[in-house]
């Protein structure tokens, strides 16, 4: 096959503008955020260079920071729990449902709704019975009065209530990804496996799962990294309360930057979040890369 030889200068003409634009839009704000994290600054008046003081305070004397990190990581891990279920449903829909596309589209509906709308909807559902809360109302109607809670105001429960809403919203998103991956596996492979005696669960175990690993990895990375950046849903439903019980890294960053007017400190938290996302992405890619090589 002939390889078209293109001069390096021609490649640079087409690639360089996009590369410069990408660096300016992606890496420059990150670099500025890292630098701002070295300042004692309220975002308005003069800034004072304090070196790593903000990072030292963040790691050693901020009582909200480490709980927020724990909430964020749990949020991210919880978001990954539904992906195996999505894969199982994708396989079932692909094998046994004629109009699987229609069902996947219905499951996808929450994804296209605004997070603000979803937050307000679930706040209403979580309300006490006296305020018309549907969940508590159903529990009372079933005689399960002891199961009723103030879902968003009890510190030990509020975070789990947020996890559930996030899982509900993105279930269709990951189902669509897994379903598309399963649909793209050629039927000829299954027909050949059927001749060799591999059908049903055995075919899924030895064909579907190995071939779906790259798609599974994409879904895991999107779920995990997206959850590390969770902000809107928490702000709409709880604002980080009660008593910081639902604070995540991004809400703590927002409150520090714009409510406490510690813009430099908030930038330090943002820098930590960027590093955390990079580390988690590398870990997931490494683990899933080993799985891909194992099954290839």
**Two tokens at 177?**
């990804």
Q: What is the pLDDT of residue 99?
A: 78
Question: Using the 8-state DSSP alphabet, how is residue 2 labeled?
Answer: P
Average pLDDT, the chain: 89
- When pLDDT is cut at 50, 70 and 90, the band that residue 3 belongs to is low
Percent of the chain with pLDDT over 90: 46
Q: What is the pLDDT of residue 256?
A: 93
87-118 pLDDT per residue, tens: 999 999 988 888 788 888 888 889 888 999 99
Q: Per-residue pLDDT averaged across 227-250, rounded? A: 89
Question: Using the 8-state DSSP alphabet, how is residue 255 labeled?
Answer: I
- When pLDDT is cut at 50, 70 and 90, the band that residue 21 belongs to is very high
Q: What is the Cα 69 distance to its own chain's centre?
A: 14
139-166 pLDDT per residue, tens: 999 999 889 999 999 988 999 999 999 9
Q: Per-residue pLDDT averaged across 68-72, rounded? A: 94
CA–CA dist 199, 230 (Å, integer): 41
Name 40's bridge partners: 48
Distance in angstroms between the alpha carbons of the first and the last residue of the chain: 26
Q: Per-residue pLDDT averaged across 121-128, rounded? A: 92
**63-295 belongs to CATH 1.10.3720.10:** yes
Q: Determine the longest span between alpha carbons in the chain, in angstroms.
A: 76
- When pLDDT is cut at 50, 70 and 90, the band that residue 227 belongs to is confident
Q: Per-residue pLDDT averaged across 222-238, rounded? A: 88
Confirm if 169 and 110 have CB atoms less than 8 A apart: yes
Q: What is the pLDDT of residue 296?
A: 64
Q: Does 1 score more than 60 pLDDT?
A: no
Higher pLDDT, 249 or 2: 249
CA–CA dist 237, 9 (Å, integer): 53
Instruction: Count Cβ neighbours within 10 Å for each residue of 130-147 and write b for 16 or more, e otherwise.
Output: eeebebbeebeeeeeeee
What is the three-class DSSP state of 48?
Answer: strand
**Two tokens at 73?**
């990581």
| Dihedral over alpha carbons 54, 60, 63, 65 (to 10 degrees) | 60
Q: Per-residue pLDDT averaged across 188-206, rounded? A: 82
């Amino acid at each position: 096959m002939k390889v078209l030889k293109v001069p390096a200068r021609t490649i640079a003409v087409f690639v360089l503008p996009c590369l410069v634009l990408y660096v300016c839009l992606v890496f420059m704000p990150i670099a500025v955020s890292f630098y701002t994290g070295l300042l004692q600054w309220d975002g308005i008046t003069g800034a004072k260079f304090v070196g790593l003081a903000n990072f030292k305070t963040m790691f050693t004397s901020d009582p909200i920071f480490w709980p927020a990190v724990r909430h964020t990581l749990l949020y991210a891990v919880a978001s990954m729990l539904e992906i195996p279920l999505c894969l199982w449903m994708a396989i079932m829909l692909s094998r046994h449902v004629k109009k699987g596309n229609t069902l996947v589209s219905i499951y996808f509906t929450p994804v296209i709704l605004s997070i603000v709308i979803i937050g307000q909807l679930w706040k209403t559902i979580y309300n006490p019975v006296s305020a018309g809360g549907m969940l508590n109302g159903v529990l009372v109607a079933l005689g399960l009065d002891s199961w009723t809670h103030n879902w968003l105001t009890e510190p030990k429960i509020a975070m789990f209530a947020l996890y559930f809403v996030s899982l509900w919203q993105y279930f269709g998103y990951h189902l669509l990804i897994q379903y598309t991956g399963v649909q793209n596996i050629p039927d000829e492979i299954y027909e050949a496996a059927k001749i060799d005696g591999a059908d049903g669960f055995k075919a899924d175990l030895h064909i579907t799962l190995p071939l779906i690993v790259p798609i599974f990895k994409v879904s895991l990375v999107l779920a995990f990294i997206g959850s590390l950046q969770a902000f809107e849903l928490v702000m709409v439903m709880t604002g980080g309360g009660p008593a910081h019980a639902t604070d995540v890294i991004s809400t703590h960053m927002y409150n520090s930057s714009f409510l406490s007017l510690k813009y430099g400190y908030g930038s330090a938290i943002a820098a930590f979040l960027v590093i955390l996302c990079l580390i988690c992405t590398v870990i997931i890619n490494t683990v899933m890369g080993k799985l891909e090589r194992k099954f290839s």
